[in-house]
Amino acid sequence: MLSARTRIAARLLAVAALAALTAGCFQPMYAEHTDGTPALREKLMGVEIPPVDKPNASREARVGVEVRNALAFKLYGTATGMPPTHRLVLRFATTRSSLIVDPNTALPTSENYGIDAQFNLIDIASNKSVMTGTTFSRVSYDMPGSYQRFSRSRALRDAEDRAAQEIAENIQTRLASFFTAGT
């Protein structure tokens, strides 16, 4: 019979051998390419994001700007982008629903805010759609004090911002996957 130390050493040796065999198979998604092909960062910087089509001065227009800005920051970083190779067209709808209602005042104390977004990536050279997708975000928020209008308004705005960030993150992940794997 093998001792406990021998079994542990054999397991560690097997894990190290498997890690050594698969080490060449892994390439980080954002790694620089040595063969001259553009890296993922350059491909993402070539995505143009036009303004979202929503009525001016509406609550959804503000959310559209928030989604667009968050997505641009995730794609370009602090830079502005490169000459565009693709255009990303965004459409979305928002929802609000009350989760908890105070029985004394009939005012909600907790709500859900949601964004349902559709996006379409268009190749500028051919003007053809190369990828479409949908994503969603649901965030909840509490409103302290049923009669505090400012806190209610600020809680909603913070929820909108969190949902916009989540939508941008989801879309950026899908775009990175598309430019890396082509699907």
Residue 108 has pLDDT above 60, yes or no: yes
Residue 16 domain-assigned? no
Residue 21 domain-assigned? no
> Tell me, what's the pLDDT at 124?
95
CATH assignment of the domain containing 91 = 3.30.160.150
Q: Which residue has the higher pLDDT, 22 or 99?
A: 99
How far apart (Å, rounded) are the C-alpha atoms in residues 114 and 70? 17
What average pLDDT does this structure show over 33-59?
82
What average pLDDT does this structure show over 15-32?
71
Of 151, 131, 150, whose CA–CA distance to 141 is shortest?
Answer: 151
pLDDT-wise least confident of 13-27, 74-88, 92-106, 147-161: 13-27
What average pLDDT does this structure show over 37-60?
87
- Mean pLDDT, the chain, whole residue set: 87
Sign of CA dihedral 32, 37, 43, 45: positive
Q: List, in order, residues 6 or more apart from 22 with CB less than 8 Å away.
A: none
Q: Residues of the chain with pLDDT > 90: what percent? A: 49
Both tokens of 67, joined, read 């989604």
Residue 130 domain-assigned? yes
User: Cβ distance 22 to 16 under 8 Å?
Assistant: no
DSSP one-letter string for 36-85 = SPPPHHHHHHTEE-PPP---TTSHHHHHHHHHHHHHHHHHHTTS---S-S
Residue 49 domain-assigned? yes
Per the structure, the count of domains in the chain is 1
Residue 65 domain-assigned? yes
62-71 per-position pLDDT tens digit: 999 999 999 9
> What DSSP element (H or E) covers 142?
strand 128-142
Residue 122 domain-assigned? yes
Residue 166 domain-assigned? yes
> Tell me, what's the pLDDT at 79?
61
Both tokens of 36, joined, read 């001259």
User: Cβ distance 118 to 133 under 8 Å?
Assistant: yes
Residue 131 has pLDDT above 90, yes or no: yes
150-174 per-position pLDDT tens digit: 888 899 999 999 999 999 999 999 9
Of 170, 95, 182, whose CA–CA distance to 139 is shortest?
Answer: 95
Find the domain containing 64 and state its range: 35-181
Residue 30 has pLDDT above 70, yes or no: no
What average pLDDT does this structure show over 21-32?
66
Residue 108 domain-assigned? yes
Q: Residues of the chain with pLDDT > 70: what percent? A: 86
